[in-house]
């Protein structure tokens, strides 16, 4: 079984929204036309969209600016300290950074999708809400601007990038050289963590993508569209990695997510995806 045939075409049709249908008329029955299971007319999706606040917007805007400034400054120092004879180690470190970013995207996405609730103070409304909205209205992400799409991912990289800049400013040239590969690893990890939701947004965009994005998707350098659709089949229980998606198939073969869920349910008694299921039911 290859990875795209993990779920059959019929199973995908019955349990996910058809995003390449521009008319939003992919309802399979009259009942689904009146009570949409997906999309911008879903009552739960509308309720979740309304919870996006101005305070949240401010946090996202600030995160974007801080992250971009730190990234530019660190990139300047990386170029200044780069030594041509070490290029193979640097490329290897960078590749490991990208793979780590893909794994981190899966772990955070899985955690936010499967556990806790939008009712949770602070975290729920500000950081879990987008994950719930995304399952019942997957194309809403294509209508979000750059700040709403990327603010939270940019925020996650700020502590690491700030520490990196501090080290560049305070350490001697020799000390910087000693940890240079590690720095390149962390820098590419941060860059790909920051870019993850933009890449994820492109994987939901079926119209008007620039040719080079489609090229990167087709060569599976970033998350391809049909690959990510496997995650968007209810009950959204697999293919959580959304940066490159390289780890989805190996993790599937290892039964990684079901094992983690079994472990948590055994230890705590909580069942995965109860909140996600609750929002999916809010159709009227």
Residues that bind Zn ion (CB under 5 A): 113, 236
Q: Which C-beta is closer to Zn ion: that of 56 or that of 109?
A: 109
Give the dihedral of Cα atoms 120, 125, 130, 136; nearest 10 deg: 70
Closest CB to Zn ion among residues 74, 114: 114
Q: Which is nearer to Zn ion, 56 or 236 (CB)?
A: 236
Q: How far is the CB of 240 from Zn ion (least distance, A)?
A: 7
**CA–CA separation, 109 and 276 (whole Å):** 13
Rounded to an integer, what distance in angstroms lies between the CA atom of residue 87 and that of residue 56? Answer: 41
Residue 60 or 113 with smaller CB distance to Zn ion: 113
Question: Token match 């008694």: residue?
Answer: 269
**In the complex, which residue's CB is closest to Zn ion?**
113
- Least CB distance from residue 204 to Zn ion, whole Å? 6
DSSP string, 84-109: GGGHHHHHHHHHHHHHHHHHHHHHHH
Cα separation values, 133 from 3, 32, 112, 128, 271, Å = 26, 18, 12, 9, 20
Shortest distance (Å) from residue 84 CB to Zn ion? 40
Whose Cβ is closer to Zn ion: residue 185's or residue 275's?
275
Taking alpha carbons only, the member of 205, 245, 240, 201 closest to residue 223 is 245
Provide the minimum distance between the beta carbon of 229 and Zn ion in the complex, in angstroms, as a whole number: 9
To the nearest whole angstrom, how small is the minimum distance from the Cβ of residue 223 to Zn ion? Answer: 9
């Amino acid at each position: 079984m290859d990875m795209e045939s993990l779920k059959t075409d019929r199973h995908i049709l019955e349990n996910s929204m058809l995003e390449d249908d521009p008319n939003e008329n992919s309802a399979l029955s009259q009942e689904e036309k009146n009570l949409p299971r997906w999309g911008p007319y879903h009552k739960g999706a509308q309720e979740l969209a309304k919870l996006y606040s101005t305070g949240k917007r401010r946090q996202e805007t600030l995160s974007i600016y801080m992250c971009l400034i730190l990234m530019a400054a660190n990139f300047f120092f990386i170029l200044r300290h780069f030594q041509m004879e070490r290029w193979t180690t640097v490329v290897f470190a960078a590749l490991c950074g990208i793979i780590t970013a893909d794994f981190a995207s899966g772990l955070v996405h899985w955690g936010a999708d499967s556990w806790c609730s939008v009712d949770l103070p602070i975290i729920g409304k500000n950081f879990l809400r987008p994950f719930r909205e995304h399952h019942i209205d997957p194309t809403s992400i294509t209508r979000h601007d750059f700040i709403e799409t990327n603010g939270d991912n940019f925020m996650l990289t700020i502590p690491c990038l700030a520490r990196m800049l501090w080290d560049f400013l305070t350490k001697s040239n020799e000390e910087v050289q000693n940890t240079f590969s590690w720095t390149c690893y962390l820098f590419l990890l941060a860059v790909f963590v920051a870019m993850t939701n933009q890449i994820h947004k492109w994987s939901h965009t079926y119209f008007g993508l620039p040719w080079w994005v489609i090229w990167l998707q087709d060569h599976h350098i970033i998350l391809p569209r049909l690959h990510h659709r496997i995650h968007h089949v209810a009950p959204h229980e697999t293919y959580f990695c959304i940066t490159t998606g390289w780890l989805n198939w190996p993790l599937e073969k290892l039964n990684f997510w079901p094992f983690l869920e079994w472990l948590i349910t055994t230890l705590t008694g909580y069942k995965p995806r109860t909140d996600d299921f609750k929002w999916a039911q809010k159709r009227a």
